[in-house]
Structure 1
Amino acid sequence: MLLTLAFPLLLLGGMAIAAQSSINGALSMRTDVVTTAWLTNVVASIILLLLVIFFEHTQAQTMFSVPSWQLAGALFGNFSMVAIVIAVPRIGTAATIVAIIAGQIIMGLLVDHLGWFGNTQIVLDYKRVAAITLLAGALYLIYLSNVRSKLIS
């Protein structure tokens, strides 16, 4: 059952990231990049804290005993949010999301190939290289479309 829901949830999650990126980009035009990232993280932290307290209270103490390198995900999340907030007003939501996805896939390929972070090693083959090449082509075409739209307007 959960596996059946995985892909629809991931698609909705991806749509949420695109919406969040666009909203945060607009917010950054009224405040600034750092304030936008801060506000987004504070609101998310409050919501997540309440979820942990009410639904995952048995896990709350476990989070203080994890290896410190596993907390680096928060730093990466903050970095990616700031990058998105900077990019959206300049290159548009679609180009930003394609670039973020390309970055995620490149890092995913490295993690898989090298077996980082305790993951199973998956060899980087020509199919995976072809996939990232096609994604780079998509990013280029979207970027060209953005540049042409700006020249026309």
Structure 2
Amino acid sequence: MLLPLIFLLLLIGGAALSAQSSINGRLGSNVGVLESAWLTFASGALITFLLMFFFEPPHEQTLFTVPKWQLIGALFGVIYMLVVVFAVPRVGTAAATVATISGQLLMSILIDNFGWFGNTSMPTDPSRITAMALLAGALVLIYLSNTRRRERATAEVTATQ
């Protein structure tokens, strides 16, 4: 029973990321990429701090005692946010999302295969390679769709001038 709930929560989280990407992309176009990213991290930090303060149970280690390489994960969130806020207004939410998921899947396959970051090794198999190829195909199709749409829009603007 718990596993379906976890996957439902992951789907909701994924939908929230796409909505966030689109909204932050628009905000970034209006106020700037860095200001939009700052708002995301500042509000996220405040909400997370409150949740942590009231709901997080004590753990054996703290942020000050864990291996320092584990703190690098926070920097990847900054990279992701800056890239998405910059990219979405230029390529669209769907293309940015599929490209992001493609990068996530590729890195996840590598992490699983080699057991990086202390994870259990899960060797790459044909199913995972097929999934990556299908996702790459989806990215190509969305890219081509965007390219055709831009070409039509440019032709319409040229025709009306």
CA contact (8 A) 1:27 1:36 kept: yes
Say whether 1:20 aligns with 2:20.
yes
Match of 1:85 in 2: 85
Which whole-Å CA distance do the structure 2 matches of 1:61 and 1:46 have between them? Answer: 22
- Matched to 2:116, the amino acid is W
Which whole-Å CA distance do the structure 1 matches of 2:93 and 2:72 have between them? Answer: 26
Which whole-Å CA distance do the structure 2 matches of 1:22 and 1:4 have between them? Answer: 27
Match of 1:6 in 2: 6
Identity over aligned pairs, percent: 54
Which whole-Å CA distance do the structure 2 matches of 1:94 and 1:47 have between them? Answer: 28
CA contact (8 A) 1:109 1:124 kept: yes
Q: Which has the larger radius of gyration?
A: 2
Which whole-Å CA distance do the structure 1 matches of 2:12 and 2:60 have between them? Answer: 27
1:57 CA displacement: 5.7
- Over the residues paired in the alignment, what is the CA RMSD in angstroms? 1.5
Which whole-Å CA distance do the structure 2 matches of 1:5 and 1:126 have between them? Answer: 28
Shift of the 152–60 alpha-carbon distance from structure 1 to 2, 3 Å rule, reads farther
Residues 5-48 of structure 1 deviation map (CA, whole Å, 9 limit, x = unaligned)? 11110110000000000010000011111111111100100000
- Matched to 1:66, the amino acid is V
- Matched to 1:105, the amino acid is L
- Matched to 1:100, the amino acid is T
Instruction: Point out where structure 2 has 5 or more consecutive residues left out of the alignment.
Output: 154-161
Shift of the 116–35 alpha-carbon distance from structure 1 to 2, 3 Å rule, reads same
CA contact (8 A) 1:53 1:60 kept: no
Instruction: Point out where structure 1 has 5 or more consecutive residues left out of the alignment.
Output: none
Give TM-score, length-normalised by structure 2.
Answer: 0.89
- Matched to 2:111, the amino acid is V
Match of 2:102 in 1: 102
Residues 73-103 of structure 1 deviation map (CA, whole Å, 9 limit, x = unaligned)? 1100110111111110010000000000000
Match of 1:71 in 2: 71
Residues 92-115 of structure 1 deviation map (CA, whole Å, 9 limit, x = unaligned)? 000000000000000001101111
CA contact (8 A) 1:94 1:142 kept: yes
Which whole-Å CA distance do the structure 2 matches of 1:55 and 1:76 have between them? Answer: 25
Which secondary structure state, in structure 2, belongs to the residue aligned with residue 62 of structure 1?
coil
1:54 CA displacement: 1.1
Shift of the 116–61 alpha-carbon distance from structure 1 to 2, 3 Å rule, reads closer
1:131 CA displacement: 1.3
